[in-house]
Amino acid sequence: MRVNWRTITAARNTYAVLFAACEQGGYHLRPVERPEDDITCYSLNSLNEPLLRNEIRDACCTTVVGGPHATACYRQVVRYADYVVVGEGEHTLPALLASIEAGDRRPVPGVATREGYEPVRSSVRLDAYPAFSTIKGYTEISRGCPHHCGYCQTPCIFGGTMRHRSVDAVVRAASQYQDVRLVSPNAFAYGSEGRSPRWDRVRHLLSRLSGKIYFGTFPSEVRPEFVSAEGLALVDRYCANDRIHFGAQSGSDRVLEQLHRGHTVADVVAAVETCRDAGFTPVVDLILGLPFETDEDQRSSVQLIQWVVRTGHVHAHLFIPLPGTPLGRCAPRSLLSETQTVLGRLALAGRVTGSWRLPSG
């Protein structure tokens, strides 16, 4: 039985993770540019799903679809796909492939079909699967998040409890790179429950690694209330990055409370100042056009952006409603003309990046 993986730029790391998991189960995920026999697997997000929906529907092979969009909207996706993997795929996808190969008609937990859906019984234990194998990817050190922010799919897909790959497993994966990029929803929460840092465990992890380590920066990030002199001292001692990436999301405490962010604007300001004092450049994420954002809330966010860029950088983007989240059915509000003017000017100066325009059509 030949199993194909539809190449999608946004799903490169997912391919690396699932290639390794399927390899353990005796299946080779062959990269393809279009659906091919016998089985073609897809990973969809809310941006690429409209572009691939018809391809999947019209495919002359068995189709297996997973990813954030498929997890949140499996009842819709199963109308045009043969199987939908809901949630994490390391255990579920190889189990499904084995079931298909054996001709077993019994439901596979974690897989939706037109006949129904039986939820998976447990979360993935990260140490049970390699971060990647011959198809290289990032070194994922943590999964899940206890902070149920209104716009975020992470706890919807991976749960509200943080799970961590063991230090030994991280070291094995990272040893395959000279530049080691560690990925987590909140890197500074490594080894903790996700609400307060465990710097002893972060120190143990970083001290075991070799090469150029990138921690708390792209493609990962941290939460602002986790930014501290103690944590930055560890990054300064063991890591190569001189930037710390964290999410502010709004310059309005009212908006942050409605988002259930669990931090305040003052926490963001303190994080920026702490980074500056420790010699790091802060890179701060903000979301504009949130559905309950007033003009004054938006102006507060712009004021925060203007303050941050004095010593750091801002990544700003327009709110995108993601299915399965509390705000998944809400539309973004338009930005004030003054907001667009400020962002445009700062973008030309190289201080702000991102996308903050409503999509055309």
The mean per-residue pLDDT over the stretch 43-56 comes to 96
pLDDT in tens, 76-88: 999 999 999 999 9
CATH class of 3-117: alpha beta
Q: For residue 41, with 0-12 CB atoms within 10 Å meaning exposed, 13-18 middle and 19 or more buried, which class applies?
A: buried
* The residue type at 175: S
Tokens of 349: 């100066």
Per the CB < 8 A criterion, the answer to whether 271 and 310 are in contact is no
Model confidence at 49, pLDDT cuts 50, 70, 90, reads very high
More confident residue, 218 or 20: 20
Tokens of 321: 């409603």
pLDDT of residue 358 exceeding 70, the answer is no
Helices marked H in 124-198: 154-158, 167-174
Across the chain, what does the average pLDDT equal? 96
Residue corresponding to tokens 């190289």: 350
pLDDT in tens, 300-331: 999 999 999 999 999 999 999 999 999 999 99
Spatial separation of the C-alpha atoms in residues 318 and 197, rounded to whole Å: 30
Using CA atoms of 121, 191, 239, 270 in order, give the dihedral in degrees to the nearest 10: 110
Provide the CB-side half-sphere exposure for 249 (13 A, CA). Answer: 26
pLDDT in tens, 87-133: 999 999 999 999 999 999 899 999 999 999 999 988 999 999 999 99
Using CA atoms of 70, 76, 77, 83 in order, give the dihedral in degrees to the nearest 10: 100
Tokens of 151: 């716009």
Per the CB < 8 A criterion, the answer to whether 126 and 163 are in contact is yes
pLDDT in tens, 170-223: 999 999 999 999 999 999 999 999 999 999 999 999 999 999 999 999 889 999
Tokens of 241: 């990055």
Model confidence at 67, pLDDT cuts 50, 70, 90, reads very high
Question: Which ranges in the chain are annotated with CATH 3.80.30.20?
Answer: 138-355
pLDDT in tens, 262-282: 999 999 999 999 999 999 999
CA distances from 32 to 4, 59, 107, 261, 346 (A): 6, 13, 28, 40, 41
Residue 72 contacts by C-beta under 8 Å, 6 or more apart in sequence?
153, 156, 157, 322, 323, 324, 325, 328
pTM of the model: 0.93
β-pair partners for 281: 243
Quick one: pLDDT at residue 105? 87
Quick one: pLDDT at residue 360? 46
Quick one: pLDDT at residue 111? 98
As a whole number of angstroms, the longest Cα–Cα distance in the chain is 62
CATH class of 138-355: alpha beta
| Dihedrals phi, psi of 123, to nearest 5 degrees | -80, 165
Q: For residue 349, with 0-12 CB atoms within 10 Å meaning exposed, 13-18 middle and 19 or more buried, which class applies?
A: exposed
Quick one: pLDDT at residue 76? 97
Question: Which ranges in the chain are annotated with CATH 3.40.50.280?
Answer: 3-117
Please state, for a pLDDT cut of 90, what percent of the chain lies above it.
Answer: 96
Quick one: pLDDT at residue 359? 54
